[in-house]
Structure formats: C-alpha cells, structure tokens
Structure 1
Amino acid sequence: MSEPTTTHGPLNLQNQSLGLQIGAVFLGTVLLALSSYIEVPMRPVPVTMQTFAITLIGALYGWRLGAITVIAWLGEAAVGMPVLAGGSGGIAPFMGPTAGYLFSFPIIAALTGWLAQRGWDGRNLPLAFAAMLLGNLLCLAIGGSWLASLIGWDKALAAGVTPFLIGAVLKSGLAAMTLRVIQRRTLRNGA
C-alpha cells in the first residue's frame, strides 16, 4: 500500500520555521562539502560521495528544499569556497568536464525528494533504493552527455559513465538504508 503524496520530505522541513529551514540548508551544504572530500581520484571525473549526500538530502528535505540546498552549495563553490571534489571551487569546475554532473545535482535532489514525497522513502526500502538509483543514473546521463560534448561519446562512456555504475548502485543502497534509519528514528521520536 503506497503512502499518500505529501508536500514535504520525511523531516517535514517545509512546515518548520524559516530559521529552521535556513539551518537545514546550512547543515546540508556542510554535509555536501564533507562528502566532496571523500574521494577516489579518477580522470577526468573523480568518484566522491556527493551523489550519496545529494540523493539523501533530496529524500529527507523534500524536492524544493533539497534542490535549494544543493543550489546553495553550488553557489558556495561558484564564489570560490573549497566545497567541491578535492577542495576545488570557483567557476572552472562549472565549465570543464565536471560541469554536466554539477548541473545535474539540483535536478537529482529534486527527483529523489519528489519521489520520497510519494512514498519512495525509508518506509519502503526497495522504492527508496530505486529513487536513489534513478537519481544517480540521471546524474551519469546528464554528466556523461556534457562530457561527450567535450571528448566524444565513446570516451565519455568509458571515462565518465561506466566506471561509476557500480558506485552508483552501492551509494544508492547506502543512501536508501541511511534514509530508512533516519526516517525510523524520526518517526519513533514523534517528529
């Protein structure tokens, strides 16, 4: 039995005070920055825990606040704060091989948030996993398409999509399980 559509994520942040929402956005940008530092160097795009954090924030915060949080984090990066993979920031990552992936991030946060608001959340682990995996695959599709415009389809698939598929599955599973734990604790505590 599916849960009814809601207008908020499992944390119900849309119905909280503006101050609490701003605090959640700040906390989310910190989590995203930290996830950027968990990195396996690869060229031209490193493997990080960013999509784990982005899909989880989308699912927890809901589609609107999740996307706003990711946009705020990308704004921090654009003004030069060292919040992206390897401590990078500035405009260069938004123009090079990683631009498509960065552009996809608010979209995948919104997607996972939208799906979570429709019951694809921690109460249904297979659907939560599917939501996270769809977000990761959309990231690879958008990022790989941008990369292909720079280096061609064959090279983009070989360097910017295929090596990330196993990680996408693993990060999706970890995000779904994390969402389940957080959501169960939140419901148990009556939030």
Structure 2
Amino acid sequence: MSNASKTAPRPAFSPLDLPNRSLGWQVAAVVLGSVLLTIASYVEVPMIPVPMTMQTFAVALVGALFGWRLGGITVLAWLAEGASGLPVLAGGAAGLHHFAGPTAGYLFAFPVMAVLTGWLAERGWNGRRVGFAFVSMLLAHGLCLALGAAWLATIIGVEQAIVHGVTPFLLGAVLKSALGAATLKALQAGKTQQAA
C-alpha cells in the first residue's frame, strides 16, 4: 500500500462532518439534535396505547447525520431531558413514569436506532447511496417496533402488542424511512453543490 493511500482522507459520511469538528461544534450538535427530537415529538397523531409521532424519523436522521457515537449520545441526552421532567417527549410528555409504561420499549429503542443508522451511515449507507440509506432507516424502524412491541407485550400480551404497537405503525415506518433517505440525499446534494 502506498503512502498516498494511507494518508488520503476518507470522505465524510455526513455533510455535517461532525467527527472532524471541534468539541464545541459537537456539543452544539447535541443541543440542536435534542431540539430537533423535541420538535418531532410534538408532531403527533394520538393513538392508544402508543401515539404516532415523527420521533423515529428524527432519531434515525440524527444517527445518520451525527454518526453512531454522537447520534447515540444526542438521543440519550434528549431522553435524560424527558426523564428529568422537561416536556420533550411525545406531545410534550415528561417524567420517569414514561420509562416504565407502554411506551418504554420504544423509548429505550431510540438510542439503538440512532446507533444503528449512524453505524451504517459511516459505512456508506448514507446520502450518497440513497437506496442503502432507505434500508438503513427501515431496519432502524423495524428494530424500534420489535423492541417496543416486546415491552408492550409484557403489559397487554403479544397479540394485542402487535395489533396496537406494530401494525398501525408499519406504513408510517416506510414513509418516514423514505423521507429520511430523501433528506439525507438532499443534504448531501446541497453539500456537493457548495463544494463545486
């Protein structure tokens, strides 16, 4: 292997290129990511026992744009805000009791979603390869539904968990995954145009 290939910089997986930015930039990204997640939490379709929100879209997008480490940290910070009583969860909900109720499995799945999309984005499943980005987002949504339903099943049973905690969210998962992939593609295209 030549010295040139050893020192050639690897192209950034995200137009934000946060891993190569200063600590100040990364802290600001965590704060702005938390704000994005909060805004997405307020976009809600009330359903029982689990509401449909844009949270999973924002969680997967944060992971894909921030990378697995910073994406996971951002989602954990946002969940800590919700647990501490700040109104950042679905519809402005807050408090520790949400981490033991019907939505707990979904909440605990969110950092895993961000880590998964971030890890895959770092390996090329990002805005440069929109089909792979879509599959990445879809896998993350599927994982969230599986983990959320597994917890919900302990409360209302397996059949009811699938009926109320998975089936109503399948179409939304596909649409939010497509929107996430399109967003990554648009951001990447914008970054490429700026560089040209």
TM-score normalized by the length of structure 2: 0.92
Cα distance, 1:86 vs structure 2: 1.1
Cα distance, 1:5 vs structure 2: 7.8
What does residue 94 of structure 2 align with?
89
What does residue 38 of structure 2 align with?
33
User: How far apart, in 2, do the equivalents of 1:168 and 1:5 lie?
Assistant: 31
What does residue 141 of structure 1 align with?
146
Residues 5 and 119, structure 1, Cα contact 8 Å, conserved in 2 = no
For residue 21 of structure 2, what is the amino acid of its counterpart? Q
What does residue 186 of structure 2 align with?
181
Q: Structure 1's 5 and 129: CA in aligned 2 closer, same or farther, altered over 3 A?
A: farther
Cα distance, 1:187 vs structure 2: 3.0
Q: SS where residue 183 of structure 1 aligns?
A: helix
User: How far apart, in 1, do the equivalents of 2:129 and 2:53 lie?
Assistant: 26
Q: SS where residue 166 of structure 2 aligns?
A: helix
What does residue 132 of structure 1 align with?
137
Q: Structure 1's 178 and 7: CA in aligned 2 closer, same or farther, altered over 3 A?
A: closer
Residues 13 and 124, structure 2, Cα contact 8 Å, conserved in 1 = no
What does residue 29 of structure 2 align with?
24
* 1:12 counterpart (5, 17, 41): 17
Q: Which runs of 5+ in 2 are unaligned?
A: 1-8
Residues 58 and 67, structure 1, Cα contact 8 Å, conserved in 2 = yes
What does residue 3 of structure 2 align with?
none
User: How far apart, in 2, do the equivalents of 1:159 and 1:98 lie?
Assistant: 12
Residues 36 and 50, structure 1, Cα contact 8 Å, conserved in 2 = yes
Q: Percent identity?
A: 60
Cα distance, 1:89 vs structure 2: 0.6
For residue 40 of structure 1, what is the amino acid of its counterpart? V
Q: Structure 1's 162 and 80: CA in aligned 2 closer, same or farther, altered over 3 A?
A: same
- In our comparison, the structure showing a higher alpha carbon Rg is 2
For residue 19 of structure 1, what is the amino acid of its counterpart? G
Cα RMSD for the two superposed structures: 1.7
User: How far apart, in 1, do the equivalents of 2:105 and 2:79 lie?
Assistant: 13
Cα distance, 1:189 vs structure 2: 2.3
* 2:103 counterpart (80, 98, 107): 98
Number of equivalent positions: 188
What does residue 55 of structure 1 align with?
60
User: How far apart, in 2, do the equivalents of 1:110 and 1:161 lie?
Assistant: 21
Q: Structure 1's 70 and 180: CA in aligned 2 closer, same or farther, altered over 3 A?
A: same
Cα distance, 1:125 vs structure 2: 1.2
User: How far apart, in 2, do the equivalents of 1:66 and 1:183 lie?
Assistant: 18
For residue 47 of structure 1, what is the amino acid of its counterpart? M
Q: SS where residue 189 of structure 1 aligns?
A: helix
What does residue 73 of structure 1 align with?
78
Residues 9 and 63, structure 1, Cα contact 8 Å, conserved in 2 = no
Q: SS where residue 47 of structure 2 aligns?
A: coil
